[in-house]
Amino acid sequence: MSPTSFPKSDIRVLLLEGISETAAGIFADAGYSDIRRFDKALPVPELHRELREAHIVGIRSRTRLDAAAMAEARKLFAIGAFCIGTNQIDLATAKHAGIPVFNAPYSNTRSVAELVIAESIMLMRGIVQKSAQCHRGGWSKSAAGSHEVRGKTLGIVGYGHIGTQVGVMAEAMGMHVIYHDIETKLALGNARHAGSLDALLAASDIVTLHVPETPATRLMIGEAQLARMKPGAHLLNASRGTVVDIDALADALARGHLAGAAVDVFPVEPEGNAEAFASPLCGMDNVILTPHIGGSTLEAQDNIGAEVAAKLVRYSDNGSTLSAVNFPEVTLPGHQGSHRFLHIHRNAPGVLMKINEVFSSTGINIDGQYLRTDPELGYVVIDAASDRDQAGRLRERLASIDGTLRTRVLY
Ligand X SMILES: O=C(O)C(=O)COP(=O)(O)O
Ligand Y SMILES: NC(=O)C1=CN([C@@H]2O[C@H](COP(=O)(O)OP(=O)(O)OC[C@H]3O[C@@H](n4cnc5c(N)ncnc54)[C@H](O)[C@@H]3O)[C@@H](O)[C@H]2O)C=CC1
Pairing mode, strands 12-15 and 56-59: parallel
Contacts of residue 222, defined as CB under 8 A and 6 or more positions apart, other chains included, come to 244, 245, 248
Query: What residues pair up with 88 in beta bridges, in sequence order?
Result: none
| Shortest separation between residue 85's beta carbon and ligand X, angstroms | 3
Cα–Cα distance for residue pair 227/198, rounded to 1 Å: 10
Of the candidates 269, 329, 372, 397, the residue annotated as catalytic is: 269
Cα–Cα distance for residue pair 239/166, rounded to 1 Å: 13
- Report the site for ligand Y in 304-363 (rule: CB under 6 A): none
Number of residues that bind ligand Y (CB under 6 A): 31
The size of the chain, in residues, is: 411
Tell me whether residue 240 is one of the annotated catalytic residues: yes
Residue 386 binds which entry of ligand X, ligand Y, none, with Cβ cut-offs from 5 to 8 Å by kind?
A: none
Contacts of residue 278, defined as CB under 8 A and 6 or more positions apart, other chains included, come to none
Chain position whose Cβ is nearest to ligand Y: 160
Q: Which of 83, 59, 61, 82 is nearest to 70 (CA)?
A: 59
Is residue 130 involved in binding ligand X (CB under 6 A)? no
Tell me whether residue 269 is one of the annotated catalytic residues: yes
- Phi first, then psi: give them for residue 166, nearest 5 degrees: -60, -45
Number of residues that bind ligand X (CB under 6 A): 10
Is residue 60 involved in binding ligand Y (CB under 6 A)? no
| Shortest separation between residue 286's beta carbon and ligand X, angstroms | 24
Q: 3-state DSSP call for residue 79?
A: strand
What mask, x for binding ligand X by CB under 6 A, covers residues 90 to 119?
------------------x-----------
Residue 60 binds which entry of ligand X, ligand Y, none, with Cβ cut-offs from 5 to 8 Å by kind?
A: ligand X
Task: Decide whether 167 or 305 has the Cβ nearer to ligand X.
Answer: 305
Task: Decide whether 100 or 160 has the Cβ nearer to ligand Y.
Answer: 160
| Shortest separation between residue 240's beta carbon and ligand Y, angstroms | 5
Q: Which of 27, 93, 85, 25 is nearest to 57 (CA)?
A: 27
Question: Which member of 210, 234, 311, 340 binds ligand Y (CB under 6 A)?
Answer: 210
Distances (CA, A) of 26 to 32, 60, 100, 280, 364: 9, 17, 19, 42, 35
Is residue 89 involved in binding ligand X (CB under 6 A)? no
Question: Which member of 126, 155, 167, 295 binds ligand X (CB under 6 A)?
Answer: 295
- Is 5 in contact with 321 (CB distance < 8 Å)? no
Cα–Cα distance for residue pair 319/312, rounded to 1 Å: 9
Known catalytic residues?
Answer: 240, 269, 292
Residues near ligand Y, by CB under 6 A: 84-85, 108-109, 112, 157-163, 180-183, 210-214, 216-217, 238-240, 264-265, 292, 294-295
Residues near ligand X, by CB under 6 A: 60-62, 83-85, 108, 292, 295-296
